[in-house]
Amino acid sequence: MGKKKGKRKGHMVSQKEDTKQKDCTAKNGEEPAVGQNAKSDERIAEYGQVLLDEKNGLGNIYLLSVIGEIEGHENLNSGSKTTKYEHVLPKLAQIEDSREIEGVLLLINTQGGDVSCGLALAEMVASLSKPTVSLVIGDSHSIGVPLAVSADDSFIVPTASMLIHPVRMTGMTIGAPQTYHYFQRIQDRITGFIADHSSTPQDKIEELMMNTTDLTKDLGTLLVGEDAVRIGLIRQVGGIDKALRRLREMIKRRKKA
């Protein structure tokens, strides 16, 4: 038993020495540091975020994912998959302020969520000075539509969908004309943003929003893949390869300007 312990202890020491060697190698630019990998893994696990192509010369791209429901001013139940806007807002500010990050790839698969918070995220993405590309990979429903069109260029995979529908009323409402006008103004903010950041006119968006023939016992329109491109919401049908290629082209053009 004593010999086994001695061997085990010696093996642990050699592992520590090996880790130190890797850290030193990373500082010389040959391999990534163990600590850096751990931080990257943590960003992916906790926030769905990672920096692509770090220091390899093709342009540092920040991958930001909007997955599940957009959680805003109220916490959702623990069983819900959410993107917390209070996590994304400071990250977008950090991206704008960073000298290393040169572009943003926004991956979207959301059923929607908090209207004001989702629109706030869309405004933040739209105001970034760095090149941005969005890619709808599953769904981009409800307030996810403004997010999808907020980037400089946009892609959607063939099977992904976008759902345009009116603003929903929840909780206690006052049965007065002012209530209707309040929700109409919220709706105008959303349709106006979508129209300003896509090729679809605002009246066409409102028409799709109030459609009564597409959804069962509901208002709205479901667009799948090519449909979203055909009406001008999204620029192209394509996947991660096309989205990354387009973003790197934009970064390269910005460097030359």
Active-site residues, by number, are 142, 165
Angle of CA points 255, 233, 92, to nearest 5°:
45
33's enclosing H/E stretch is none
Q: Which amino acid is at 113?
A: G
Distance CA 190, CA 183 (A): 11
Q: Are 103 and 247 in contact (CB under 8 A)?
A: yes
Distance CA 145, CA 48 (A): 20
**CB neighbour burial string for 178-198, b if at least 16 within 10 angstroms, e if fewer:** eeeeeeeeebeebbebbbebb
The DSSP line for 100-161 is S--EEEEEEEEEEE-HHHHHHHHHHHHT-SS-EEEEEEEEEETTHHHHHHSSSEEEE-TT-E
